[in-house]
Structure 1
Amino acid sequence: MSQSKRGNQIGPPRFVIAVHVLIWLAKSGGLLSSATIAGQVNSHATFLRRVLATLVQSGFVEAREGRDGGYSLSMPAGSITLADVYLAVKMEPCEGTEEMSCSGEEGAGIQLDQALEQIMNAADLRTVEYLKQYSIADLTETIDF
């Protein structure tokens, strides 16, 4: 029986951490500090704060400041799909990249960039459609803490 290794994770790191955070918040049923979350999801504090900020901006998580503050889900775990999370944390392309070739060439380089972009956009659409089938609640039910 083979075990999955976290080093071989699939998907962007922000997505993986965001899903872990949402599962921990769903399981806790209450408020968790960023220090508690960081310990549970095994993430660097700065990276985690960026992910948490995105989850708050997206409306999945509520943040309370102060000594007794922390983070909690702002909606039921069953209403948050993995597609929602994926789209929320997906990195935006760098400014101007749609106009420039990565290779710095014209002609063939631009054509290759355009072809790869079409393929990656199609793959991204399929990924989102597939992830719509699963919610945070689905994963929460399958994991023993």
Structure 2
Amino acid sequence: MSIASRGVYIGPPRLKTAIHAMVWLAKSGSMVSSGLIASQVDSHATFIRRVMQSLNSAGIVESKGGREGGYFLKKPSTEITLGDIYEAINNDPNDVKGNEKVGEQLSVECDQPEKRLDGEQLDVELEQILQQAELNTIEYLRNYTIAELVDRVRFF
């Protein structure tokens, strides 16, 4: 199985949808409704509005309410990187995320009963590794703009 056929999932699940929406907005060059964006990126308008809210909060898009409203790019697509979109989607303060402590109750039985896995320490170490991976991902994504994707993608 090749890597391309598996699909790659990095970042929040909404990231690909957000990038698709941004490419579509850049290609259209005008204000586009959430319903039209949803139909172009094969999603639901309500979900698109939530994604676009994150992008709006980050200053990447602007929205106009009402019957004739929609979304448009707040700055040129040549200045919007995939890293910007990643950060907007991942850091939205309005997005509710679970904060459960996964490793809190984690323990491993060993031959010696006094040895146990410190779940809290594991969480701290893993969090540091994942934060660095995220920083590396964002830095890499900053090498690509929405304009570049528009140029690379075929529209029909």
Which range, TM-score by smaller chain?
A: 0.7 to 0.9
- How many residue pairs end up in the alignment? 140
The one-letter code of the counterpart of 2:75 is: M
**Partner SS, residue 63 of structure 2:** strand
Higher helix fraction: Structure 1 or Structure 2? 1
The one-letter code of the counterpart of 1:39 is: S
Moved beyond 3 Å, runs of 4+: 2-5, 91-95
8 Å Cα contact 1:62/1:72 also seen in 2? yes
The one-letter code of the counterpart of 1:33 is: S
Bigger Cα displacement from structure 2, 41-50 vs 103-112 = 103-112
The CA RMSD measured in Å over matched residues stands at: 2.4
TM-score relative to the length of structure 1: 0.85
Alignment of 1:121-140 (within 5 A): 121-140=131-150
Q: Deviations over 1:56-87 (max 9, x none)?
A: 11111111122221111111001011111111
Aligned to 1:66: 66
Unaligned ranges ≥5, structure 1 = none
Q: Distance in 1 between matches of 2:52 and 2:29?
A: 17
The one-letter code of the counterpart of 1:85 is: I
The reply on whether 1:10 has 2:9 as its aligned counterpart is yes
Which of structures 1 and 2 has the bigger CA Rg?
2
The percentage of aligned residue pairs carrying the same residue is 44
The one-letter code of the counterpart of 2:48 is: L
TM-score relative to the length of structure 2: 0.79
Q: Deviations over 1:102-127 (max 9, x none)?
A: 23338701011111111101111110
The one-letter code of the counterpart of 1:126 is: N
8 Å Cα contact 1:26/1:137 also seen in 2? yes
